[in-house]
Amino acid sequence: MPLGNYASTLKYYASGIYRELHNKDVFLWAQAIAFKILVTFIPLVVVGTGLIAQTIQPERPSALIDLIIKTFLPDYQSGELVEFLQQLQQASGTITLIGVISLTVTAKTLFATLRAVLANIFREEWHVHRSPIRAYIFDFRMAFQVGAFFVLSIVITLFVQGLNTSAIEMLSELGYEDTWFSDGLHGAFRWFAWLLPLLLSAVMFFQLIYFTPIPKPPTRSAWTGAIVAACLWEIAKVPFTMYVTRLASFQDTWMAAFGSTFVLILALVLWAYYSGLVLNVGSIATLLHERKHRYDTESAPALE
């Protein structure tokens, strides 16, 4: 493709995204998505608490308190903590069940919000809406489909990171540390660890962008928006990860006055808002590609 075509294509998408951001309430929709994401975090914490409580054996808290916590707390506080852990362990099944039910409901409402937002973005003359019953079933389907893929992507990413660490340790034990082979292998793992999350993020965004509108956009159009969203997502993950991992270093700055918990919550709010905005921008890129594809097809001369 000539350089002029690349420039015109870039201008088409840049001006189109700017126009859609100006004409549609994209930023307001991103706030709605962010709110639903934060609400979904609450049952996730409840489920995590229940699962952790199930791993606590009734006889272990006393031993742990006697060995560790009792050195830092008075006896009466240690006793209260032991009693609390025992009650938490006894109620772990109920806590987990409540968390799972709440997570199912909040996940359904999250995807209902995503569906409503995408319906407002994909609002051309060829788009139609689902019936209430079909929309309800679709929300549950996407909640399980995208949720399962999201969990799978986290597991795969953690596995690759662990494999990278294990490979480095194995090479060090074999005497290949600081050699061209170890440097090359480490570089390959570093690129793979960057490309794999990018691919998984693109697939996740593709599912939302491709399956939600009716009719479905062309596959190429959906991949265009998914790749745009995935790139924006991965670019922002780098500073966000650095911020979270270096949260303790902010204790000596002006941000310490707000407390690390407040600053972390603020970061999660901004990340949730940015995630919604990224999905909207990717969907707009898909719409622009689909619109151009349809108009070019309609304006093409018919073959006799």
- Indicate the pLDDT class of residue 279, thresholds 50, 70 and 90: very high
C-alpha–C-alpha distance, residues 232 and 236, integer Å: 6
| Mean of pLDDT values over 197-208 | 90
Peptide bond into 215 cis (omega under 30): yes
Provide CB contacts within 8 A for 46, sequence distance 6+: 95, 98, 99, 102, 103
Pick the residue with more confidence: 6 or 174? 6
What pLDDT was estimated at residue 303?
41
pLDDT of residue 294: 76
SS (H, E, C) 136-150: HHHHHHHHHHHHHHH
Q: Which amino acid is at 117?
A: V
- The residue extents of the domains of the chain are 3-299
Mean residue pLDDT of the chain comes to 78
Asked if pLDDT for residue 277 goes beyond 90, the answer is: yes
* pLDDT on residue 208: 92
pLDDT, mean of residues 42-68: 69
pLDDT tens, 134-157? Answer: 998 999 889 888 888 877 777 777
- pTM for this one? 0.77
Condensed to tens digits (0 to 9), the pLDDT of residues 70-107 reads 555 555 555 666 667 667 777 778 888 898 899 889 99
Report the alpha-carbon distance of residue 222 to residue 194 in Å, rounded.
Answer: 22
Q: Is residue 179 predicted with pLDDT exceeding 80?
A: no
Which carries the bigger pLDDT value, residue 10 or residue 228?
228
Confidence (pLDDT) at 300 = 45
